[in-house]
Amino acid sequence: MRERKNEKTTGADEEGAVVLTGLAPVVGEAPLILILGSMPGAASLAAAQYYAHPANRFWPLMALLFPEETARLSSPDYEERLEGLRRSGVALWDTIGSCERAGSLDSSIRNMTPNDVAGLLKSHPTIGTVVLNGSKSAVVWRRHAQREALLERPDLRVLALPSTSPANARLRLADLEMTWREALAVG
């Protein structure tokens, strides 16, 4: 069995769960918004790219929300998309640094270790808004990062928004755009 990047197959249990390690944060020089997912799915970990599953609406949504960077955010080149985010003042990371999971669903996450989101916010004081991409991200934020982050930064704006994941199929891209645009007050 071939090992995939960011995945330790030695920890597999009888249900197929493996120990997974997330991706490094993507942060530009002076980010204004931090978008936090929960934990990258299998496609993202295999590609070592945020939101790599072709059915995830994250990149199309970013292209709609930040039209001045649409060309970069719509590019097939991952580094171009990241540059589009940086130019839009957006940083990316996840609330979970490592966990056990079989498959890609957040509901399968066990034995997780949170990322030091409060530390990231402390080292990047230009971030004024944290967006929690989906309910699992919001739950982990509340349990592991919220208290410390808000003690340090009481002015921080925190938004729990609907997930861009293909598992959240009840919302169309247009619905996500409307909700995210209104919450972020962009465009």
- Of these residues, 56, 111, 115, 133, which one is catalytic? 56
Q: What is the mean pLDDT of residues 167-184?
A: 95
Tell me, what CATH number does 137's domain have? Answer: 3.40.470.10
Residue 18 lies in a domain: no
Residue 46 lies in a domain: yes
DSSP readout, 64-123? HH-GGGHHHHT-S-HHHHHHHHHHTTEEEEESEEEEEESSS-GGG-EEEEE--HHHHHHH
4 vs 42, residue with greater confidence: 42
- The count of domains in the chain is 1
Which pLDDT belongs to residue 8? 42
Confidence (pTM): 0.89
Residue 7 lies in a domain: no
Could you tell me the residue range of the domain that residue 154 belongs to?
Answer: 27-94+115-184
Mean pLDDT of all residues belonging to the chain: 90
For the question of residue 115 being annotated catalytic, the response is no
Residue 75 lies in a domain: yes
Residue 12 lies in a domain: no
| Spatial CA neighbour of 32 closest among 156, 163, 162, 115 | 156
Residue 21 lies in a domain: no
17 vs 8, residue with greater confidence: 17
pLDDT of 29 strictly over 90:
yes
- The percentage of the chain sitting over the pLDDT mark of 70, rounded to a whole number, equals 90
Residue 153 lies in a domain: yes
Which pLDDT belongs to residue 105? 74
Residue 161 lies in a domain: yes
Among 3-12, 86-95, 98-107, the minimum mean pLDDT is found in 3-12
CA 151 to chain centre: 23
